[in-house]
Structures are given as structure tokens and as C-alpha cells.
Amino acid sequence: MPAMKRRQVLGGIAAGAGALALRPALAAAKLKHPLNGPLGLELYSLRDMLKKDVPGTLARVKGMGFTDVEVPSLYGKSPEEFASLLKKNGLAPHSTHIQLDRLEKDLPGVIKESKALGVKWVICPWIPHKGKFTAEDARKVIDAFPKFAKALKDDGLSFAYHTHGFEFEPGPDGTLMDTLIKAWPADLVSIEIDVFWVRRGGEDPVKLLERYPGRFPLMHLKDIAKGLDCCHPNGGAPDDTSVALGDGMIDWPGVLRAAAKGGTQLYYIEDEHPDAFKQIPKSLTYLRTLKL
């Protein structure tokens, strides 16, 4: 194909993806799947490999066909170094996970790091608590998260909270997750839905997506082993209960249809199994077989 025509074709693809407000977003062209948005990899899936060899691991991520990633840690690199390694491997970072204490103590530093890394989304993955998650624990972030989100928004960044299962303790609005979602302004605080943890916490991910359309722009695709107790909202589970997509108990066609209808824009495979590197290709194969 002539270079000019090729640029025109790619430009058309990028223009369509631009409606998702997540760029670059060309993973769908390389990784075949029926999703309505880019399919990336949550790099935490390969955390043990990254601790030993960041450049080599990112090259292997590229080798699997991914072009979009979520960054949970810099693994000893500066944000500029990590961004350079991602770029070298054709990997676009859309989001990063930042713990609550850093958001509280060094929000300007978080903003600077996120911009150097090149992400759009800053995501808090955990609300510290002791024992069972309580209404008091929830109240601590009801006001704090919108403040973080407003400061991030003023610098061109977006904010989300990652579900971790413990939020599905009973609450005045159904569960404490319901309380949090209803309390947080929809234009400031979004939710990254982790399907594994939602199911582990005792909630039906399809019903959650349908109950709050527009609140879940990001999703972790992670299946949960058949037979695991799914009314256990403690935020924990053995790593080997994270199985390849399609091998567990999640109704993926139902989840993904609800996600598309509700406005989910960006999807990440996350696999916490010790053999995640072997399971991820199986998950990709499964997604290619789905008809939504």
C-alpha cells in the first residue's frame, strides 16, 4: 500500500477511536476481538517478570500483540525511563495505579509523574482498612476522592477507583460500593471495574454495570475459578484462582454486552495466576471466539 494511502487509512481508524477519548487506540487492529474499545494488558499480570527484567518483559508484551497497557508500578525506573521503554516497544500507557497515601501526601508529584509517563487516567486501587470494610472506611474517601479528581482534572488527567471486592459489604444503599458510587460526582470520579473482584465480593457484574451506566469507563477482564466462594467481600483470593478467560465462572458475553451498552471504553486483561504469561494467550484466543 502506498505510504500516503496507508496514513489515510490509519488516520481514519484513529479518528473513530478518538470518540473514546483514549489515544492511541489501535490495539483492536492487531489483537482481534469483539470489544467496543482498545484491549490492553494490566502489567501487574507479569509483576514477577518485571521485577527481574523490565525491558525484556515489555518486549514479550509487545510480542503477544498488545499495544495498550496499564502501569501498576515503575519497577525501579523513573517515569521518563519507563515511558521510553514503553515507546520503544510500541506500548501506549493509558492509566497508572497510585496508592491512596501518595494521593494524600504528594498529589503534585503524582501529577508530574503521570504526565511524564504519558497516561490519561490516575487510578486508586485500594482503600486502606482493618478487618471488614465499614461505612466509616467509606466515609474517609467520599470527600477525598472528588478533591483529588478535581486537582487532576485541572491538569488534564482523569481519576478512577479500582474495585477490589471488599466494598460489597452491606450498606444503607445496598452495598458500600453503591454508597460510594452514589456519593462520588459522576463527572469527577469514575470506576475501574475488576470483574473478578466484583464477583468475589458477591455482586453480579452485569447487574452492577446495568445499575450505573456511564460510571465504568475502564474494565479489568479477569476470570474467577469455578467453585470459589463468591460471597466473600474481603478483597483477597489465592492467585491461582485467577484463570484464563472462559475457563472460569464469569458470563463474559453478558458482561461485555453490558459494558459496551454502559459506556466502557478501555479493557485490560489482568491475570494474577503464577503462570499468567502462559494463560494470557489463551484468554486472547477465547476473546476472538466471542460474538457479542
Q: Each residue's pLDDT tens digit in the chain (292 positions)?
A: 444 444 443 333 333 333 333 333 333 336 889 999 999 999 999 999 999 999 999 999 999 999 999 999 999 999 999 999 999 999 999 999 999 999 999 999 999 999 999 999 999 999 999 999 999 999 999 999 999 999 999 999 999 999 999 999 999 999 999 999 999 999 999 999 999 999 999 999 999 999 999 999 999 999 999 999 888 898 999 999 999 999 999 999 999 999 999 999 999 999 999 999 999 999 999 999 999 9
DSSP-derived letter for residue 74 is -
Maximum distance among all Cα pairs of the chain, rounded to whole angstroms: 62
Q: Which helix (H) or strand (E) segment is 221 a member of?
A: strand 218-221
| Best CA proximity match to 44, nearest among 96, 109, 120, 114 | 96
Alpha-carbon distance of 95 to 107, in angstroms, equals: 16
Do 93 and 42 meet the contact criterion of CB atoms below 8 Å apart?
A: no
Alpha-carbon distance of 79 to 100, in angstroms, equals: 19
| Best CA proximity match to 242, nearest among 229, 224, 226 | 224
pLDDT for 113: 98
pLDDT for 30: 61
pLDDT for 232: 86
Pairing of strands 218-221, 189-194: parallel
Alpha-carbon distance of 96 to 118, in angstroms, equals: 10
Do 98 and 105 meet the contact criterion of CB atoms below 8 Å apart?
A: no
65-96 burial: b if 16+ Cβ within 10 Å, else e? ebbbbbbbebbeeebeebbebbeebebbbbbb
For residue 29, give the amino acid letter: A
For residue 175, give the amino acid letter: T
Alpha-carbon distance of 49 to 258, in angstroms, equals: 34
pLDDT for 230: 87
Residues whose CB falls within 8 Å of the CB of residue 129, separated by 6 or more in sequence, listed in order: 137, 166
Identify the structural domains of the chain with CATH numbers, from first to last. 25-289 (3.20.20.150)
Q: Looking at the DSSP assignment, which residues form a beta bridge with residue 97?
A: 123
